[in-house]
Amino acid sequence: MIKKIFYFFVVLLVVNTVQGTFLYVTPNELFFDNVLVGGYAEETVTITTDSETPLQITPIISGDIKSWVSFEPATNLEVRDVAPLLLKVIIKPPIDGAIGTHSGDIIIIFTNEQAPLIGKDKESSFSLKIKVTLTFDKIKKLVINKIEAKDTEIDHPIDFFINAENQGNEELHFNIEVMMKDRELTQSLVLKPTEKKNVLLNLPSSNLTIGKHTANVRIVLDDSLIKNENVTFYVKESNSFIRKGNLLDIQNPLRVHEGDEVTINALFKNLGEISTDCMFQGEVFKDNEPISELISDLYYCPVGEAIFLSTHFIASHIGEYRIIGKVYYDNTVSDEVESIVQVVPLSENTSTVPLSISPYLLFILIIAFMFITRMILKKRIAQ
């Protein structure tokens, strides 16, 4: 009965939205089976929203696995419509953990810092259930889900995509070997238990003729051949593929202290038909005057992928800064995107404290609610 009341209470919280905004967390349950005592396991939760303004996120852990759980990224968690948050939930049970099943909950608090100061829908939450089963039995299992070679153009790199997954509970060290008649490449990789990884390897296409070609891909684990597969691809004339990209967002802290180094992350997605080199360039304005130029390193962006192009500047004076920038790729330029950062004195807190209930107070109220409900039920039973 107590559990039912508790989950009803949580559902009431979930039904609320932030300023009419919808929030989605998938999956809504996490099951970690056969986790090695003193070992490691991970799972990625995708958090999406239709909010155009960033929503800040605070995860709060409860249950007997509370001390086992951590997150990546650990700080500055936010989500908006064009930039879903991929939150990695990491489990590290202690070496003296008891064999069997353990459980807990992650209450994810969403806060809209840009909501009006007076408003009932400033916060909302979602509850994520976790179950972890511990074992002493070691399991070593490498699964290769996909090996693919992309078509390319003359003098453009050949992309090889390998999707690898560690379905065991031990760390795996393995090699990927890509071989053709006159060129080859070997890369060593490490996969943590339960980790999934999309691996991108490149071979030069120089001196290859236009037409169909074949490459051999081998996966070797502990000197044992796990996978041996031939993949084909085509080399085409220059400019055969469409180049198209979109600067989705410029992400940065909303508030920083005077003198802080501010990290600017430009989120660029390759919507074209061929991988491309890309670079973010922008300017920082204060009082409508340019004060700093932003230029990122050159990044390689695969087809269909979204990557962050990072750069920095020093917030040397108090006030509002405006960041305006675009991405250059394959002799093409994206549309401009703008972002804002507030620079405050060292004496001022950079975290915006909402006037509505704080995540920690909310969690305490939930626990208090459960305790009071339990006491009432005990009294009724006694009567």
* The pLDDT value given to residue 81: 85
CATH number for 308 = 2.60.40.10
pLDDT, position 351: 64
In angstroms, the CA 218 to CA 196 distance is 18
Same domain? 125 vs 42: yes
Q: 13 and 120 share a domain?
A: yes
What count of other Cβ atoms lies within 10 Å of the Cβ of residue 236?
Answer: 16
Same-domain status, 190 and 250: no
Q: Clarify whether residues 13 and 88 are in a common domain.
A: yes
DSSP-derived secondary structure for 163-224: EEEE-SSS-EEEEEEEE-SS-EEEEEEEE-TT-EEEEEEEE--TTPPSEEEEEEEEEEETTE
Number of domains in the chain: 3
Statement to judge: residues 23 and 86 lie in one domain: yes
Q: Of 204, 236, 268, at which residue does a domain stop? A: 236
Range of the domain at 174: 142-236
Classify residue 363: in a domain, yes or no. Answer: yes
Residue 370 belongs to some domain of the structure:
yes
Give per-residue pLDDT as tens, 249-262: 999 988 899 999 99
Separation between Cα atoms, residue 206 and residue 152, nearest integer Å:
11
Q: Does residue 276 lie within any of the structural domains?
A: yes
Say what the pLDDT of residue 49 is: 86
Both 171 and 262 in one domain: the answer is no
- Give pLDDT, residue 366: 64
341, two tokens:
């950062």
Per-residue pLDDT tens for 295-305? Answer: 999 999 999 99
What is the chain's Cα-based Rg?
A: 25
Tens digit of pLDDT at every position of the chain (383 positions): 555 455 444 444 443 444 456 778 899 899 999 999 999 999 999 998 888 878 888 899 999 899 999 999 888 788 888 888 999 999 999 999 999 999 999 988 877 654 433 233 444 677 889 999 999 999 999 999 999 999 999 999 999 999 999 999 999 999 999 999 899 999 999 999 999 999 999 999 999 999 999 999 999 999 999 999 999 999 999 999 999 999 999 999 888 999 999 999 999 999 999 999 999 999 999 999 999 999 999 999 999 999 999 999 999 999 999 999 999 999 899 999 999 999 999 888 876 544 344 444 555 666 666 667 677 766 666 66
Tell which residue, 279, 295, 289, 281, has the closest CA to residue 337: 281
**How big is the CA angle at 264 (ends 24 and 266), to the nearest 5 degrees?**
60
Domain contains 383: no
Same domain for 270 and 305: yes
